[in-house]
Structure 1
Amino acid sequence: MLKKVCVALGISLMIGLTGTAHAQEDQSLQRIKDRGTIKIGLMLDFPPYASSGAGNKPDGYDAEVAQMLADYLGVKVEPVITTGPNRIPYLLTDKADVLVASLAITPERQEQVQFSNPYSAASMVLLGPADIVVDSPADFTKYKIGVPRASTTDIGVMKIAPEGTDIRRFDDDASALQAMIVGQVDLAGTSTVIASEVQKRHPGKFEVRYVINEQVMGVTMQKDRPELEAAVNAFLKEKLADGSLDKAFEKWLGTPLPASVHAASN
């Protein structure tokens, strides 16, 4: 009899704990709606994805997606300015509810955070002077390579770089690229979009010397928040279907939204 009572109590306790867990999960989205604002982490040093616009307000593709998400949820945007290295720490310490900060979806990051379906994509490349030749990763050891610390570019270069490659890490894309421009490093790892901006500012001086990979990016949130994840994915599905994301990407980046975003979201 005692054993049956204990088992029954155990089952009741498990049900209670499960119910509590689901209640906590549900609260993540409800808290945003009750507060009337969503705290969205943005990187303002990553144009044309995000930069500081008129009146120091966030501008760019990520900023526009952030505003669309807030409108979809019926709340206002509370921008949280982040850097590459502190994006995930800000998210995990509740300084931000979500990140719309060009964060590429990788297995390593998926162990820490939850990603939505993709909303963007970019190729990671090595940019450098036109006279530098990089036919394969074996050539990396000939040069000093600058990358944004802890970025997907950093990870991508490390995965394919031979032992002895001189990888130099900087706080952000702008710092790594500036180091390349002044000759502190020979090559800089960055996205094709940012590489294009550098090439426009320095015509004929720099070219893409090697393509590292293409990666899709997702809106990022803490794990175990299924209600919030479902809402973000529903938002992305709607905006992909009605062409809003395509229009915004074309506006800010001057190219069509990569097919990989549509393919990964189907």
Structure 2
Amino acid sequence: MKKLIRNSFALVGAALIASTAPAQADEIDDIIGTGTLRCGVMLDFPPAGFRNSSNEPDGFDVQYCKDMAKALGVEAEVVETPSPERVPALVSKRVDVMIASASNTLERAKTVAFTMPYVVYTNVVITQKDSDIKSFEDLKGRSVGNVVGTTPEQFFLEHFENWDDPNGNYTGFGSDAESYLAVSQGKVEAIIGSSAQAADLIASGNFPNLEIRSEAPFTVDLVSIAVNKNDHSLLRWANLFVWEQQKSGRYAELYKQYFRSDEVPALTIPNTYY
């Protein structure tokens, strides 16, 4: 009987503690409460993120942020976030969401949570126009660069290590702008980058001596919105938002506007991801 009474008191005590414990904050309520959605966006990655002629943030990812904020009934704040700072910006709570063309890798998913893919990229080899590099295989034994911590870097380094060519060398850069400047100035012979970004930068006239040489033999790069891994309600809402963007045709509209292509890629991998 004493044991039963003690257990009863223990249960009552636990209930009292649970009832007086502070409720866990809801991320969506917090964002609505502040009236602002802070989006981490790369602004050196056109056409996804860049500064327009008025020096205002613009691009596919920027507009996606504005659409998300509108759906939440708040204002959008675009926080310029270079590639290596994307995950740290989320973890340190400098931003609420990361809409920054981030590949949804297993390694990153240990730290942040990803939505379903919201856009897709393919990667290409970029060189100077007078380079004798014609294909991806020609990169063996050459000087190649890429942005540190990116998926294209990860894919390329796998090939680089397998080649094991003593004449080859690799240089990591802190941003896309640095990598394009390096190949333009001949500091490296080639870089690997998004086909959409490469086409946009070359068409802009900022790098008149560069051209796309070939596709890189990597899988398509599905990228996702990221939130802090414990922001469960925000993750669920963001997943539904991405789905609504596709279902409503808004994804196709934005893709055609910023990527200047009538062919809108499916956010799937045949026989793998539907």
Alignment of 1:1-266 (within 5 A): 1-2=2-3, 5=6, 9=10, 13=14, 23-24=23-24, 27-129=26-128, 131-134=132-135, 136=137, 139-161=138-160, 162=162, 163-164=164-165, 165-200=168-203, 201=205, 205-211=210-216, 212-255=218-261, 256-261=263-268
Deviations 1:67-109 (A, max 9, x none): 0000011110122111001111011000000011111111111
User: Which has the larger Rg?
Assistant: 2
What residue identity is the alignment partner of 1:28? E
Specify every segment of 5 or more residues in structure 2 that has no aligned partner in the other structure, as ranges. Answer: none
CA shift in 2, pair 1:204/1:145, >3 Å: closer
RMSD of aligned residue pairs (Cα, Å): 3.0
Supply the distance in 2 between the matched residues of 1:60 and 1:154 (Cα, whole angstroms).
23
Runs (4+) of structure 1 moved beyond 6 Å? Answer: 14-21, 262-265
Structure 1-normalised TM-score?
0.87
Paired residues in the alignment total 262
Cα contact 2:134–2:213 (8 A) shared by 1: no
The alignment partner of 1:142 has SS state of coil
Supply the distance in 1 between the matched residues of 2:189 and 2:20 (Cα, whole angstroms).
56
Supply the distance in 2 between the matched residues of 1:64 and 1:31 (Cα, whole angstroms).
22
Shifted more, 58-67 versus 202-211: the winner is 202-211
Say which structure is richer in helix: 1
Cα contact 1:37–1:76 (8 A) shared by 2: yes
What residue identity is the alignment partner of 2:184? I
What residue identity is the alignment partner of 1:151? T
Shifted more, 165-174 versus 70-79: the winner is 165-174
Aligned-residue identity in percent:
24
Specify every segment of 5 or more residues in structure 1 that has no aligned partner in the other structure, as ranges. Answer: none
Cα contact 2:98–2:226 (8 A) shared by 1: yes
Q: CA deviation at 1:122?
A: 0.4
Shifted more, 240-249 versus 256-265: the winner is 256-265
Shifted more, 120-129 versus 155-164: the winner is 155-164
Q: CA deviation at 1:208?
A: 2.9
CA shift in 2, pair 1:18/1:123, >3 Å: farther
Structure 2-normalised TM-score?
0.84
The alignment partner of 1:49 has SS state of coil
What residue identity is the alignment partner of 2:177? A
The alignment partner of 2:100 has SS state of coil
CA shift in 2, pair 1:16/1:265, >3 Å: farther
